[in-house]
Amino acid sequence: MLRRWLARRKAATVSGRLEAIWIAARAGAPMHDCAAVEVTEAGLTGDRYATGQGHWHTVESCPVTLICSAELDRATRRARRLRQPATPTPGDHRRNLVVSGLRRSPRAGTLRIGVVRFAITRPRPPCGWLNQVVGYNLAGALRQDSGICLRPLEPGTIRRGDPVHWEAAPGSARHD
């Protein structure tokens, strides 16, 4: 019985590392890599989503976006098959945060990155706007590996290299 409980508990948490922080001043503007950024309720300081300068519909608004490096690796392989750039330029994915150590972006629960906690709100599917900005079919390469939306639960500063800890929502002990 203890073994089963430990196996469920282990499956309900996963740890990783924050590899990159990307922000853009407005929709379509180049993404800039940051070593650290201040997180507020609105999102990442200086980013288009936090200032209301992003490209989305009101019902799709998302303060912070995240993608896993493993998802980017899979998208790169798909891009080659689609005869797109073999290696997308860093930041082409247009997601704010890139993390390693997770096979796929979690779909529910909370993430702690450094000292800041985030609620996972939903998947962030790619859209045609992404293809217009980068100039090739990156949305087709990303497909279901396109990341998630996060809502900050508390303010603070996150830094490249910070530990990332995912905890499943109560009642869901699987990380897909």
Q: pLDDT of the chain along its 176 residues, tens only?
A: 656 544 554 555 678 999 999 999 988 888 899 999 999 999 999 999 898 877 665 556 789 999 899 888 888 887 777 776 666 677 778 889 999 998 888 888 999 999 999 999 988 877 766 767 777 777 667 777 778 899 999 999 999 999 999 988 776 544 44
If we measure between CA atoms, which residue out of 30, 56, 64 comes closest to residue 164? Answer: 64
Q: Which pLDDT score, from 0 to 100, does residue 57 have?
A: 55
Query: Yes or no: is domain 15-167 CATH 1.10.3720.10?
Result: no
Q: Which pLDDT score, from 0 to 100, does residue 102 have?
A: 87
Give the integer Cα–Cα distance in Å for 4 and 63. 37
Predicted TM-score of the model (pTM): 0.81
Q: Which pLDDT score, from 0 to 100, does residue 6 have?
A: 47
Q: Which pLDDT score, from 0 to 100, does residue 5 have?
A: 46
Give the integer Cα–Cα distance in Å for 67 and 56. 18
Q: Which pLDDT score, from 0 to 100, does residue 124 have?
A: 80
The structural domains of the chain, with segments of one domain joined by +, span 15-167
